[in-house]
Amino acid sequence: MAFRWLASLFAPRRVEVHGQPADAPVSDGWGDFAPVQIWVGLGNPGAKYAMHRHNVGFMALDSIAEVHNFEPPKKAFSGWAQQGRIGRDRILLLKPATYMNNSGRAARAAMDFFKLEPGAVTAFHDELDLAPFKVKVKTGGGTAGHNGLRSLDAHIGNDFRRVRIGIGHPGHKDKVTGHVLGNYAKAETDTLSDLLGAIAAEAEWLAQDDDARFMSDVARRMQDED
């Protein structure tokens, strides 16, 4: 599945990034919307970061919002928030605008507002120690040096679920920063689009807390694309 917004990020002039509209309204409340889960994408805001491997958590939320017809973003909780449903479950998608190192502050604000516990939070993030375009899910655990996870751990504890999206290790620690903060190559965009499409298509299993089914079905979709 190819997303036009993903391809557009390679355009020579980028003014605005999908899911981060400068003119998004500031939330004036959420009415009767009461999410049962908060899904947080980890990344950095702004066009210059948009295609970084470190921003694949933002990309995952954008694809979920598009495929499941979430409402347009609002500025809330120090980020961009979107409400919607996946299956029967009400989900809030949240992309912190606090930059990676302070992502937990945004997640904490949303949790407190909706009176939810850390177990209701799922973080989508890049994972060095996982092969590129592979996806694993786990709850709890360490941060493995990931600054976004460190911030979440500091603000909400470590009992949240993580959707780990593999970016692979460059092979030497001196190359890690450049790899993580480097753009996906143009040659990778088709596979990246396939992965984001698979994550979005199988997101209902995440909403139902069937992590094993989510992982197996995403893997199957990626095999079918090979």
List, for residues 15-37, the tens digit of each pLDDT value. Answer: 568 889 989 999 988 999 999 99
| pLDDT mean values, one per 10 residues, the chain (226 residues) | 63 67 90 95 94 96 96 96 96 97 97 96 96 96 91 96 95 91 92 95 97 98 85
Q: Is the dihedral of CA 83, 80, 152, 108 positive or negative?
A: negative
Which residue out of 18, 52, 54, 125 is catalytically annotated? 54
Q: Note the pTM of the prediction, 2 decimals.
A: 0.94
Domains of the chain: 4-225 (3.40.50.1470)
List, for residues 96-133, the tens digit of each pLDDT value. Answer: 999 999 999 999 999 999 999 999 999 999 999 999 99
Q: Is the dihedral of CA 95, 98, 104, 108 positive or negative?
A: negative
Active site residue 172: no
